[in-house]
Structure 1
Amino acid sequence: MQLKPYARSLAVAFSLAFVAGCSSTGGTQDGSMSGSGTASGSGAGASGTGTGQVSGSGLGDGSGQMADSRIPEVRTIYFAFDSDAIRPEFQSVLNAHARFLRNNPNANVVLQGHTDERGTREYNLALGERRAGAVEDFLSVEGVSPSQVEVVSYGEERPAARGSNEEAYAQNRRVVFAY
């Protein structure tokens, strides 16, 4: 039975091709900490067009003064190194998203967890999931229906900024709200 070894080899080859096709090779996702929509890292792949993400810049004049029927302008929150704890400066951003989701029960959001490149791939996927899970827990406590929220972890696979310095790392440790 010569077919079995060939079938196994073929299955492995297809699996590797699939995984290679799924890996990210660049691009940005509204990763700037200033909210301007441009990454201030080393510039590789800094155009935000074609990513399927809607940039938050230019949609309003501040997250504190928007109507509850509009998606909040700031859609990215950042985390400390190796942490999934929500930083106090992002509480108002999370409250705005919670208010929007409560007032719009048909709206859904995907919480995309990201990490910097340090650590193993497996560890970073788990950390990205914990970060997005922490945001999901916050929204749940604020009264958002669990059916409106989905958690996805990209780990280190979709960096907002290229580079091996603290500025790039800080922009990559994030959760992005994708409506």
Structure 2
Amino acid sequence: MSKITTGLVLGVALLATAGCAKKRDANTIPPAPSETGPVNPGEGDSDTVAAPINEQFRREVSSDTVHFAFDQYDIDPEARAILDSQAQWLNSHPNTRITIEGHCDERGTREYNLALGDRRANAAKNYLASRGISPARITTISYGKERPIALGSDDASWAQNRRAVTIVIS
């Protein structure tokens, strides 16, 4: 009788712990910032409709994205040129705020990639600050490997996913 009781207790315990398994909550990954910011009134002539400010930013800078080498977060000469173009645009739009997203490729743990994405976003932020952009205008967020733009598991895809993206939010 004690073997049956022990078996039942173990079975109930197994079922109870299986029901407690942590499930991935869709809310654990922050939502993507809006691709379109508010319209910037007063810019352009009256014949043109003002484009959303983020679209204007993307049109007028050399790129909204800087890329990084594997396991790196340093700003190389190509990234400096892109960030210089962003700094120039931001200096001409002094009331505009941005978010810099840090991203990684799929290799490595989630925790490691979140930390690396944070270092990448902050490296871009610090570079823009060194070019005269107030750090108070810049927020950063790391998505780690959670939001790839290239889904392949090869060098070309990984290179596209190692990035920091500047998004104009206001």
TM range (shorter): 0.5 to 0.7
Alignment match, 1:166: 155
Distance in 2 separating the partners of 1:130 and 1:150:
13
SS across alignment from 1:178 = strand
Alignment match, 2:64: 75
- Contact kept, 8 Å, 1:111 with 1:175, in 2: the verdict is yes
One-letter code aligned to 2:78: E
CA RMSD of aligned residues (A): 2.5
Alignment match, 1:156: 145
Query: CA offsets, 1:79-104, max 9 Å, x none?
Result: 00000011211222100111121221
Aligned positions of 1:28-39 closer than 5 A: none
- Contact kept, 8 Å, 2:103 with 2:147, in 1: the verdict is yes
TM-score (norm 1): 0.64
What is the deviation of 1:122?
A: 0.4
- Structure 1 stretches of 5 or more lacking a match? 1-8, 30-50, 55-69
TM-score (norm 2): 0.67
One-letter code aligned to 2:166: F
Q: Tell me which of 53, 56, 61 is aligned to 2:35.
A: 53
1:130 paired to 2:119: yes
- Structure 2 stretches of 5 or more lacking a match? 1-15, 37-55
Post-superposition, which runs of at least 4 consecutive aligned residues in structure 1 deviate over 3 A?
none
Distance in 1 separating the partners of 2:161 and 2:103:
6
Paired residue total? 127
Distance in 2 separating the partners of 1:141 and 1:148:
13
Taking every aligned residue pair, what percent have the same amino acid on both sides? 40
SS across alignment from 1:110 = strand
- Contact kept, 8 Å, 2:62 with 2:85, in 1: the verdict is no
Tell which structure's C-alpha radius of gyration is larger: 2
Distance in 2 separating the partners of 1:99 and 1:136:
14
Alignment match, 2:95: 106
SS across alignment from 1:154 = strand
Distance in 2 separating the partners of 1:119 and 1:93:
27
Query: CA offsets, 1:106-133, max 9 Å, x none?
Result: 1011000000011110000000000000
Distance in 2 separating the partners of 1:173 and 1:162:
12
Distance in 2 separating the partners of 1:123 and 1:76:
21
